[in-house]
Structure 1
Amino acid sequence: MSHARTSPAFAAVAVVALGVVGCTQQTDGTPIETTAPISQAASNDPGMPQVANPKNLEAVSDPCQLLTADQLAQLGTGGKPTHRPSAWGEDTCTWGAKTDGLRVNLAPSTTLNRGLTSVLRTVHKTAPDEVIDGYPMVTSQPLTYSCGIYVSTTSEDVFSLNVDRGDSDRPEHQDTCAVAKQVASMVLSNLPAKN
């Protein structure tokens, strides 16, 4: 069954608005394993949580280098990635943009220095939802075929991921929030530590 795909321009606007699409898939209630608790910044601002082992998102200038060819094959997406500038001037990367299957958009944010504050306000939440590999994460509001998440790599730097399953009928693509979390874990594993 086909559905209308989001245009790249609309996707860029959604990222700018810090309200990228969320997931509609219901989980079975099984808690997601986490490796470290979220600790709050000295200001006690849940939008700028401290992370025990910060990652250097600025160290990788090309966001298309944040997933390897093997990881893309494991996810079932790929092709030549496309670049677009974000509204705040940083490069973004989209894999699978020219396919009807799984599409992944990655947008780093290292210049705004707002952490998760804006996304928490946009989705009317007071704190991150959970952690992925020790890094605070917020899921944005749900839409039918996609899931958007924001992950803190430091108290000020974040990256957003938007996963759209498109017309993929692969079982592992149906829970797009699970795919987004898997992608986030891969990205985190490819980032160097921040000293």
Structure 2
Amino acid sequence: MNLRATAAVLSLALLAAACSSPTDGTATPPTSATAPSGRAVPYGGAPKVKNPLPDNVLSSDPCQALTPQQITEQLGSALTGKPDSDPVPSCSWINAETTASIGVSYYPARNDGLSNAYTNVKPQMKRWDALPPIQGFPAVAYATQPGSTPNTCNVLVGVTDRLSFLVDVAPRTSKMGKVDPCPLAADVANDVLTTLKQQAGR
């Protein structure tokens, strides 16, 4: 699933989240924040972000989420990112020679963060892995293909209970179907978090 398709899945899931009501039957702690969708976050089994970044952390350009050095380490060349804003702010880097690619998308508060993904995206995926926290932030890896070597992998990281960013990674053609792209996506997510924390003064 490419970056635009992944963004579309999460955006459609946002609509479902906004139109649905809680079904997990769990009580909402009175201290939980209420998300713009009208539901208390977190929900759907999503973990709480214990040490959130500031609410404006995703207001910057996603093309600045990775440094040229990080792009070179991941894709072999300091490629220029291609920005997009449909349906959410995003940026993609593609190595034309190897077809390896990275995408980064920033999801706004109305998306309900990881809660939306646990509730609406998880049932659509063939692979769903709750990851160990990345720099203390909860994350999940998922793919539309089952098994350990999907063609692409997405890692979604919650930076607050309402805000999240997505990393979409596809390995080079020669390694597609031979390597697991999810650890690669987690590595990129770690780089993005380093950038965001620096921007937040942490």
Fold in common (TM above 0.5)? yes
Is 1:176 the counterpart of 2:173? The answer is no
- Selected match of 1:189 from 178, 194, 198: 194
Q: Which has the higher helix share?
A: 2
How far residue 61 of structure 1 moved from its aligned partner, in angstroms, is 2.0
Deviates more, 1:117-126 or 1:101-110: 117-126
Deviations 1:79-133 (A, max 9, x none): 221111132xx32100116443320010001242401122112213999543111
Is 1:18 the counterpart of 2:10? The answer is yes
Q: Which residue of 1 aligns with 2:108?
A: 110
Seen in structure 2, the aligned counterparts of structure 1 residues 194 and 156 have a Cα distance that, compared at 3 Å, is: farther
Q: 1:14 is matched by which residue type in structure 2? A: T
Tell me, yes or no, if the aligned pair for 1:57 and 1:108 is still in contact at 8 Å.
Answer: no
Deviates more, 1:77-86 or 1:52-61: 52-61
Tell me, yes or no, if the aligned pair for 1:47 and 1:114 is still in contact at 8 Å.
Answer: no
Q: Which residue of 1 aligns with 2:140?
A: 138
Q: 2:105 is matched by which residue type in structure 1? A: A
3-state secondary structure, aligned to 2:71:
helix
3-state secondary structure, aligned to 2:162:
coil
How far residue 175 of structure 1 moved from its aligned partner, in angstroms, is 2.5
3-state secondary structure, aligned to 1:151:
strand
3-state secondary structure, aligned to 1:138:
strand
How far residue 53 of structure 1 moved from its aligned partner, in angstroms, is 4.4
Is 1:147 the counterpart of 2:149? The answer is no
Count residues with an aligned counterpart: 163
Cα distance in structure 2, aligned partners of 1:183 and 1:161? 7
Cα distance in structure 1, aligned partners of 2:3 and 2:201? 29
Tell me, yes or no, if the aligned pair for 1:103 and 1:164 is still in contact at 8 Å.
Answer: yes
Give the structure-2-normalised TM-score: 0.67
Cα distance in structure 1, aligned partners of 2:85 and 2:95? 15
Seen in structure 2, the aligned counterparts of structure 1 residues 70 and 142 have a Cα distance that, compared at 3 Å, is: same
Which one has more relative contact order, counting CA pairs under 8 Å at least 6 apart?
Answer: 1
Cα distance in structure 2, aligned partners of 1:75 and 1:189? 15
Q: 1:157 is matched by which residue type in structure 2? A: L
| Structure ID, larger Rg | 2
Q: Which residue of 1 aligns with 2:162?
A: 156
Tell me, yes or no, if the aligned pair for 2:57 and 2:200 is still in contact at 8 Å.
Answer: no
The answer for unaligned runs of 5 or more in structure 2 is 12-28, 33-39
How far residue 57 of structure 1 moved from its aligned partner, in angstroms, is 5.7
Superposition RMSD in Å? 3.3
Tell me, yes or no, if the aligned pair for 2:75 and 2:95 is still in contact at 8 Å.
Answer: no
Give the structure-1-normalised TM-score: 0.69
How far residue 76 of structure 1 moved from its aligned partner, in angstroms, is 2.6
